[in-house]
Structure 1
Amino acid sequence: MNPERKSTRSSYVKRLLPWLVSLSIIVFLFSRIDYVMFLESLEVAELSVYVPLVILFVFIWFYVETYNVQKLYSYFGHPVDYLTMLSIRGGTFLLMIINYGLGAGAIAMYLKRLYGVGLLRSTGILFYYMVVESAGIAFLAVAGFLLAGQSSGIAWWVLYLASGLFLFYNVEIVLLKYIPALGFLRRFVNSSILAPIRESSLSIYAKIFLQRTFYFLTFVVFFYFAVRAFHMEIPFLTLAALVPIIFFVGNLPITPFGLGTIQAAMLYFFKDFGTPANILAMSLVYTVSLMILRAMIGIYYLRTAANLLVDGEKDELNTCGAGVADGGGSL
C-alpha cells in the first residue's frame, strides 16, 4: 500500500474512532433506560426557560474565556487585542468541536502568523494554561464538597479524587519549573515548549487560577438553573462538588466534545436527583445545544478569522518589501 494513502487512512480512523466510541456509549446508555420516559422528559422540559438560559451562558463563556486567553498571552509577553482574540477564539470553535487539540493548535497557528509567537512556545503557554485550569477545577470540587457537608450524600471518594488531582497538577508545575537542566534532561528543560512554565511566577499562576476557577464556577450557576428546567433540584454546593468531576470525565480524550462521557457521568452523579431518563434527556440537550451554538459562533467568526490571516500575510509582504527596498531593491 502507498505510504501516503496508508497515512491518510490512519488519519481518518483516528478522527472517526472518537465518534464511534461516543456512539457506542450513547447506545449503551439508551439500552438501560425507558425510551417512553425519555421522550416524556423532553416533552415536559421547560425549554422556554432552558433555551434562553443556555444562549446567555454560551456567550458569557465565550467572552470570559476569550478574555482569559488574551490575558494568558499578555502574562508571557505577547499582548493581543481583545477583539482580535475574540475572532481567533470564535474561528477555532468548529475545530474544537471536532477535537480540542485541533482547536488549540489553530489558536497557536493564528498567533504565530499574526504576532510571531513560536508554535512550540504557544503550545507551552496553552499547556501551562490547561494544567492550572485543571488545578482550578479540582479546587472547586474540593471546596464544593467541604461546603456541602456530609449530609449532601456525595461519596467521600469524590473528595479524595479531587484532592489528589489538585495535588498532582500543582506538583507537575513545580517539577517542570524547577527540574535542573542536567544530562539528558538539558535539551527538554531548555526547550521552547517548557519555557513558559520556567518563566511563570506565583502571580501569573494565581491570576490564571482565579480566572479559570471563576469561569468554571459560572457552569455551576448554569446547571443550578438548567436542571430545574428539567424538573430536578440539586443544591448549589452539591453541584459545585459534582460538576467539576463531570468536566474531568467529559475532558477525557476518547469522545468528541465529551459526547457520551458527559452523559454517563451525569447519570452516575445526578442519580439521586432524577430518573435516568430525565437525566439523560437533560444531559443530551445540554451537549447538543452547546455544540450547535458554538458551531454557529464558529461559522459567524470563520470569515473574520480567515481575513486576519490574509491581513497578516499582507503585513508580512509589506515588511519584506520594505526590507528589500532598504537593501537597495535588488534580489
Structure 2
Amino acid sequence: MADDQPRTLSSTQPAWRRVLPIVIAIGLMAFVLARVDWPSFTARLLVVRYPAFLAFMAVFVVALLSADTLATVYVYRRTIKGLAFRDFWIVRGASYLPSMLNHHVGQAWITYFVARAYGVDLRRMVGATLLVYASWGGCVLALACVAVLAAGLPAGWLALPLGAGFGYLILLGVKPARLAKGRVLGPLFDAGIQGHLVAMAMRAPHLLVLFLGTWLPFWFFGVEIPLVTALVYVPVIMVAVTLPITPQGFGTRDALAAAFFQSFVVASSDDQRLAALAAATATTAVALVGIEAIIGLALLRRASRLLPH
C-alpha cells in the first residue's frame, strides 16, 4: 500500500525548508510563552470544561470537513464527472495528515491523489484546485468587506483587494485565448464569472464554519470576543494559519491572538491576559491536531482503495 500513496511536495524539498517552519513555530511560541504569567496560564487550563470543549472541537472538525467537501466537490465535478461526495469526503479527511506540514501541502496531496485515482490530467486538476483557491479568496474578500463596514473603518482599506478582485473578474470576462486554452488555467476560464460566483456561494458554509471554529474556542477560556471585533480580526487568523509559515499555524495563531485580543481578557496585568490567550490558542491547536490526526489515520487506508491497482 505504501507504493500507492502519492508523494507530497515535502519529499522533494531540501531539509532546511522542511525544518524552517518548525523552527519558526518554536520561536513564535517561545516569544509568546516567555511573556505569560504561568500560574494564570495553569489556572485557565484548569477551569475549562474539557468534555464540552472537546465535543465542540470534534463537531467543528467534522462540520468543517463536510462543508469543505461540499464546496470542493462542486468545483472538481467540472473536471471529474460523477465525483461522489462520500469518496471525496474520505480523501479530504485523509489529507489531514499531510496538511499537518501546512495547508498547501495537503492541497497538493489532494490534487495529485485525485488526478491519479480518477485518471485525470494533473494539469487540469491543478487548474481545478486553483478554482478552489479563487472561490476561497473571494469569500475571504467578501468577509473583509463586511468586517470593514461593521467596524466603521475607512472604505479605502478595501481599495487594493477589491481592485484586484474586479481585475480578476475582468480578465475572466475578456478570456484571453492564450490563457484560456491552457490546461492549467483553462478550468478557471471554463468556469467563467458565473461559475466563480456559484463556487463562492458553495464555499460560504465552509467559511462560516471555519470562522465559528476559530472564534468560539476562546469563550471556553473566558475570552469573550465581540462579534464585530471577531469579524475584523478572526479572518486574519484564518488566512495566516494556512500560510506555509508554521505547521498547523502553531505560533502564528498564538502571536496574532496576543496582538489582537488582549483587551478582551478580564485580568489585572498584561502577562495574565497573555496567559489566558496562550492557554486558549495552544489548547485549541493541540485539540485540532489530535482530532485531525485521528480522522486522517482512520480514512487513509480507505482513501487508498480509490487508487488504481
What TM-score do the two structures reach when normalised by structure 1? 0.80
Whether 2:206 is the aligned partner of 1:203: answer no
Structure 2 residue corresponding to 1:268, chosen from 259, 266, 270: 259
Match of 1:277 among 272, 275, 278: 275
Alpha-carbon distance in 2 for matches of 1:286, 1:160: 34
Give 1:142 deviation, angstroms. 2.2
Superposed, which structure 2 residues align to 1:35-50 within 5 Å? Answer: 35-50=38-53
Partner of 2:171: 175
Give ranges in structure 1 of 5+ residues lacking alignment: 1-7, 151-155, 314-331
Shift of 1:162: 5.6
Distance in 2 (alpha carbons) for counterparts of 1:163 and 1:65? 29
1:86-165 equivalences under 5 Å are: 86-147=89-150, 149-150=151-152, 156=153, 161=157, 164-165=160-161
Aligned AA (2:128): I
Matched, 1:226 2:217: yes
Counterpart position of 2:65 = 62
Q: Which has the larger radius of gyration?
A: 1
Match of 2:232 among 218, 222, 241: 241
Q: State the identity as a percent.
A: 24
Task: Give the SS at the match of 2:125.
Answer: helix
Gaps (5+ residues) in structure 2? 1-10, 266-272
CA shift, 1:245, in A, is 1.5
Q: How far, CA to CA, are the matches of 1:10 and 1:209 in structure 2? A: 32
In 2: Cα distance, 1:134 partner to 1:126 partner = 12
Cα offset, 1:69, TM superposition: 1.3
Contact 2:98-2:105 at 8 Å conserved across structures = yes
Measure how far apart 1:143 and its partner are: 0.9
Report how many aligned residue pairs link the two structures.
293
Q: CA offsets, 1:164-212, max 9 Å, x none? A: 334424534543663634xxxx4x6532111111111233212221222
| Pair 1:268–1:92, CA change in 2 (3 A) | same
1:298 equivalent in alignment to 2:289: no
Q: Secondary structure at the match of 1:29?
A: helix
Structure 1 residue ranges (4+ consecutive) displaced by more than 4 angstroms after TM superposition: 159-163
Q: Which has the higher contact order (CA 8 A, sep 6+)?
A: 2
Give the structure-2-normalised TM-score.
0.85
Q: Deviations over 1:108-157 (max 9, x none)?
A: 2222222222111111111121122022112113213423x44xxxxx37
Q: Which residue of 2 aligns with 1:322?
A: none
Deviation at 1:14, TM superposition (A): 1.3
